[in-house]
């Protein structure tokens, strides 16, 4: 027979041992209601609980309070190195507050997303953190309707003005463009990521907005949009950029994968990076420092992003009066070897 966890001591046991009623025991055990109980009684109850190693049963409690101390975390794909640190940040913040995350992968697939959402909702999560990157999202409205508390991570302001933590894309872009300008680049290309996701969208907007004020070439042909983050896409688009009449002297990519593709295209064109052309990635994925040449990239504070989003959620969960708006965390440009001074010959 499939055995399952033996039941431990119940509140009833504790009450009995302390010689009080379960109601009294319950009060004594609850921080906030403890004062409603005699000081010595409380002490006895606590002692009894301690002695029996009493753990409140979450189902009994949940049934009564309609809360699970649990939150759903919807993430596109744990296998994408962008997310694990975020999830750890979420986990750490949540755990510290006595909440447990329920993590589900969505693969950015609406159907899977819906299933995961339903599954977690039916598990009575108290709220959700959407790490999923789609900009428009039907689930958000539905979740709000169901009375669930929400927070976003890695997404800019949503229509619903939900609390969330996101990257300060303008700051990141400003650092990278300033770096390139200093190296003498004026004509810099951009390989954008899929625009239905929030970060790539904002990143491209930031590029467009910032290059104007920074004496960079405003040629619209310098911007290409990838349909995915696949290396092959980066390679193809960078190839187009390089084949143009006036190719850029530097390429900024929306993430490290695309940057890898750019590197491939550059090699394919018989050029050398950074001698002939510079490349900047984004996210600083593991081993980005070990490829050749080591990738200059924008490091986003993944852990802190996760942590912050969880804190915002908790705020909504505990304090009420939902915290509004998006907290922007500033990324750091990590200068390595794919960026260099503009080559004399070009």
* Helix (H/G/I), strand (E/B), else coil: 149: strand
Distance CA 7, CA 12 (A): 13
**Category of 6 on φ-ψ map: left (φ > 0), alpha (ψ -120 to 50) or beta:** beta
Q: Which does 36 bind (CB under 5 to 8 A by kind): DNA, a copy of itself, none?
A: DNA
Q: Does 212 bind a copy of itself (CB under 8 A)?
A: no
Q: At its nearest, how many Å lie between a copy of itself and the CB of residue 204?
A: 25
What's the half-sphere exposure (Cβ side, CA atoms, 13 Å) at 285? 16
Q: At its nearest, how many Å lie between DNA and the CB of residue 100?
A: 16
Helix pair angle (11-18, 39-52), 10° resolution: 130
Q: Which does 10 bind (CB under 5 to 8 A by kind): a copy of itself, DNA, none?
A: DNA
Q: At its nearest, how many Å lie between a copy of itself and the CB of residue 143?
A: 9
Q: Which does 102 bind (CB under 5 to 8 A by kind): DNA, a copy of itself, none?
A: a copy of itself
Q: Does 31 bind a copy of itself (CB under 8 A)?
A: no
Q: Which residues of 89-114 are buried (b: 16+ CB within 10 A; e: fewer)?
A: bbbebbeeeebebbbbbbeeeeeebe
Q: At its nearest, how many Å lie between DNA and the CB of residue 195?
A: 42
Q: Does 59 bind DNA (CB under 7 A)?
A: yes
Q: At its nearest, how many Å lie between a copy of itself and the CB of residue 272?
A: 14
Q: Which residue, 321, 297, 296, 323, is CA-closest to 310? A: 323
Of 105 and 176, nearer to a copy of itself (C-beta) is 105
Cis upstream peptide for 293 (omega within 30°): yes
Of 247 and 301, nearer to a copy of itself (C-beta) is 301
DSSP 60-94: HHHHHHS--SEEEEEES-TTSTTHHHHHHHHHHHH
What's the half-sphere exposure (Cβ side, CA atoms, 13 Å) at 106? 27
Binding mask 111-140 for a copy of itself (x = CB under 8 A): --------xxxxxxxxx-------------
Binding mask 3-32 for DNA (x = CB under 7 A): ----x--xxx------xxxxxx-xx-xx--
In the complex, the residues that contact DNA under the rule CB under 7 A are: 7, 10-12, 19-24, 26-27, 29-30, 33, 35-39, 41-42, 54-57, 59-61, 63-65
């Amino acid at each position: 027979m499939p055995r399952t966890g033996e039941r431990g001591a119940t509140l009833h046991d504790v009450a009995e041992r302390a010689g009080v009623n379960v109601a009294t025991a319950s009060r004594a055990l609850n921080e906030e209601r403890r004062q409603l109980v005699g000081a010595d009684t409380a002490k006895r109850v606590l002692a009894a609980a301690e002695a029996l190693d009493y753990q409140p049963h979450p189902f009994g409690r949940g049934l009564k309070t309609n809360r699970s101390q649990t939150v759903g975390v919807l993430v596109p794909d744990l296998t994408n190195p962008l997310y694990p640190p975020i999830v750890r940040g979420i986990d750490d913040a949540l755990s510290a507050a006595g909440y447990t995350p329920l993590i589900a992968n969505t693969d950015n697939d609406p159907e899977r997303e819906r299933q995961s959402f339903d599954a977690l909702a039916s598990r009575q999560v108290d709220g959700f953190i959407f790490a999923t990157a789609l900009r428009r999202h039907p689930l958000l409205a539905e979740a709000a309707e169901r009375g669930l508390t929400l927070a976003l991570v890695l997404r800019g302001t949503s229509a619903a003005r939900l609390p969330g933590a996101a990257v300060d894309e303008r700051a990141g872009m400003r650092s990278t463009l300033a770096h390139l300008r200093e190296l003498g680049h004026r004509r810099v290309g951009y390989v954008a990521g899929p625009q239905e996701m929030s970060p790539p969208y904002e990143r491209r907007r930031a590029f467009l907005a910032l290059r104007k004020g920074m004496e960079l070439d405003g040629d619209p042909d310098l911007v290409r949009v990838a349909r995915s983050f696949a290396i092959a896409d980066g390679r193809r688009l960078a190839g187009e950029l390089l084949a143009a009449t006036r190719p850029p002297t530097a390429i900024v990519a929306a993430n490290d994968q695309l940057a890898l593709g750019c590197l491939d295209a550059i090699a394919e064109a018989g050029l050398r990076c950074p001698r002939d052309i510079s490349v900047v990635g984004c996210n600083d994925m593991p081993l980005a420092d070990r490829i050749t040449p080591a990738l200059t990239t924008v490091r986003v504070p993944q852990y802190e992003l996760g942590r912050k989003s969880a804190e915002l959620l908790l705020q909504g969960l505990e304090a009420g009066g939902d915290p509004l708006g998006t907290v922007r965390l500033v990324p750091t440009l990590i200068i390595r070897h794919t960026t260099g001074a503009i080559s004399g010959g070009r």
